[in-house]
Structure 1
Amino acid sequence: MKLGNEHHEKLELTTHEYKDEERLIQFINGLPSNEVSDIGTSEFALGQDWFEKIILRVYTLLTTGYAREVLVHGYLDLEQGQFTKEGVLVSGIIDFLKIEGDQMSEEVEYYLQGKTRIEIDDFIKEMKEIIPKYPDQGLVIGEMKTRSFSRLPNQSSVIEGAKLQVSYYRRLLDILSGATSYQMMLTNASRRHQDLDQPIGLKHVLKLLIKHWWLIGDDLMQMKLGVFRPLPTRPLANYDLQSIINRQQIEELDQMMQGESWWSQLPPGARDIGALYGTMATALDTKVLCASQ
């Protein structure tokens, strides 16, 4: 198990860069607290996990042709023996996804050229235009079995079990790419006893922003301006980043982020967290993160 975990971690690091965030998290946790700074901690933990294991992974897949450790889930009706909209919640992590015969990379690279931040809705719409142009591409779903020797196991049951596992993953991907995906995410959160309407505290928002500024910054700006997807949220007074972080502290964060290549390459105006100053018309909550899936 130890060797297997080490091998999986090593493989994941080749695709998804690890960031040393301890200093950043300590800095943010040390910011002033108020009535909207630390709320919704458990909702944030779940939402962040989904954002990084679903949205970020799919983005990586479409822009690089490869992604690892992708989270999927579904609901199994034990009596009928099939996946349905309700039933027992089952989830798994796909070892790797790979676009076989990747022919669209140049067009995707052209779309991304010069962009300092990605608006998720626009990115998805663009991918829906690009992908059908390359019908010869295929999506490979893989399961990595760690073994002490470099050959397939002799037991047919082991091989059949792995094939069955991958077939489940394929089915779950089909389901999650359908029209019911958003409702399925809400049901999942409810099953985990998460308050779907609980706003996520500003310190947690800031942590998500610092980690994934280039992928969530535009969505947060839309939420501030009130032009994000029309989702009902609890109105909150003082839901304003300026209530917990000032300009000097933003500059300190900027200095701490200089080690991140993607951050240091952005023009100063494109990484100005102060642009989000002002009461946000829409609070970030679990529903918003589910909508992004």
Structure 2
Amino acid sequence: MPWQTTISEAGTRIAGHVRRTPVTSMGVGGREVALKLEQMQHTGSFKTRGAFNTLLQLDVPEAGIVAASGGNHGAAVAHAAATLGHKARIYVPEIAGPAKIGLIRAQGADLQVVPGAYGEAAARAAEWQAATGAAQIHPYDGETTVAGQGTLMAEWEDQGLDADTVLIAVGGGGLIAGALGWLGGRRKVIAVEPETSCALHAALQGGAPRDVEVSGIAANALGAKRIGGICFGLAREFEVESVLVPDAAILEAQALLWRELRQLVEPAGATALAALIRGAYVPVADERVAALVCGGNIAPDPLA
């Protein structure tokens, strides 16, 4: 399939710039669940994969790079740009929080914190791009971004993933789109979203992407107002099941990861696992299940 080829090429391209993150397993409700600890990636999330895959193929203009982000994408772009010797201007909303804002600043980017949520940051980034000619890296709805994120699932399979079903948290959809592109229907993929930030669920229910209101404890990572077109197309093609979880379940999943594995993760990073804790997704008796832990930029930073 074309996506598999593109993702395989992306994996080769970014190999020297990203970590091969570890895998483990944990008991959840009497069932062993496979986990991939992608929060141990550079800058604390999978976003580094897409950032490097895009920048390594980009003819960067003199104005450099611009990106809008809820936090994790901005940190990844800033890190990739600094590594490759490009200047970057990153717009983030105030709700990104001090931990993610501090992380971006530490990468050396020109950081712009704007009032409001992600939509306001995106508007400001678009204005800067139009005014300067800077190259913009979309956080989730660009082909090179999606292909980069797809390397995570390719890597997990190479590490011996033994699961019928994989649960993945969804914000704008770049991560799950990459997973769907790589898997091509070979495993069942469950999209997990917070009840108050559910752009994919709303699109699947309504038959087309549409704007949604976003709020809740995971909004600074999963708070896209509209699902990406690439994700929506792949989700419909492979008939992805979408489930919603309350903030309380996400907090339970965070606590469980700390108690059992001593892994501190942000709310978005625990969202996929939350679907199993509260029964939003109930596997059949012999179903082998995996959950992706996708981000670790907890706020406030416990060791700041």
TM-score normalized by structure 2?
Answer: 0.29
Greater share of residues in strand: 2
Q: Which has the higher helix share?
A: 1
The TM-score, its normalising length taken from structure 1, stands at 0.30
Greater RCO (CA < 8 Å, at least 6 residues apart): 1
